[in-house]
A = this chain, B = another copy of it.
């Protein structure tokens, strides 16, 4: 039953991943001990080191799974649908993907800083791809406005990420309905708002 053992192995890694994210989120990554993580998993600390070579490798695996999944799902979206507004689709998808992921979301910043340059570049690559998708959706929402000033386009897409990523702080453990509702607010705020954004006359002098 080699297959079954391998499956157990993967299942256990996933269990550690989720439990560790919760411990890290509540006590901080540096502040939490591997013993606390082990206790939350119901296993010994030594057992964790059978699955992960170090605390940092565990942190990387949490963020790699989280951001990698986000990236995959966001990049798989079809934003060319004739009737569905791309920005609406995007904000809704993000907030629904964030559901149940408050812990992973929360430890992003502290975690990234702890990792090696190589590990950081992998995770930042995921983030960059998602920013690119957002950037294009924002640009397409008002092409005439943004072709004159890419600075404004970046400001708007970063504004959307600000709204999305601030959400868990004032609405932790939000329901699906709350997420869908707020996603609509962000999209409407942005789509109507871009009409009022004044463009810098970069070539004026």
Contacts and interface: CB of A to CB of B under 8 A. Distances in A.
Given A161-B166, A162-B163, A166-B165, A189 B156 contact: yes
Interface stretch (A3-11, A67-75, A196-204): A196-204
Interface stretch (A36-44, A57-65, A179-187): A179-187
A110 interface: yes
A188 interface: yes
A167 interface: yes
Contact of A184 (B29, B30, B156, B198): B198
Interface in A14-49: 26-31
A110 to B, nearest CB: 6
27 contacts: A26-B113, A27-B113, A28-B28, A28-B110, A28-B113, A28-B114, A30-B30, A106-B109, A110-B110, A156-B189, A158-B166, A158-B167, A159-B166, A159-B186, A161-B170, A162-B163, A165-B166, A181-B200, A184-B198, A188-B196, A188-B198, A189-B189, A189-B190, A192-B194, A192-B196, A192-B197, A193-B196
A13 interface: no
A148 interface: no
Contacts of A184: 198
A165 to B, nearest CB: 6
Chain A, interface size category, equals 35 or more
A108 to B, nearest CB: 10
Q: Pick the 3 closest A-B CB pairs, nearest first.
A: A192-B196, A162-B166, A193-B193
A186 B159 CA distance: 8
A97 interface: no
Contacts of A158: 166-167, 170
B188 A197 contact: yes
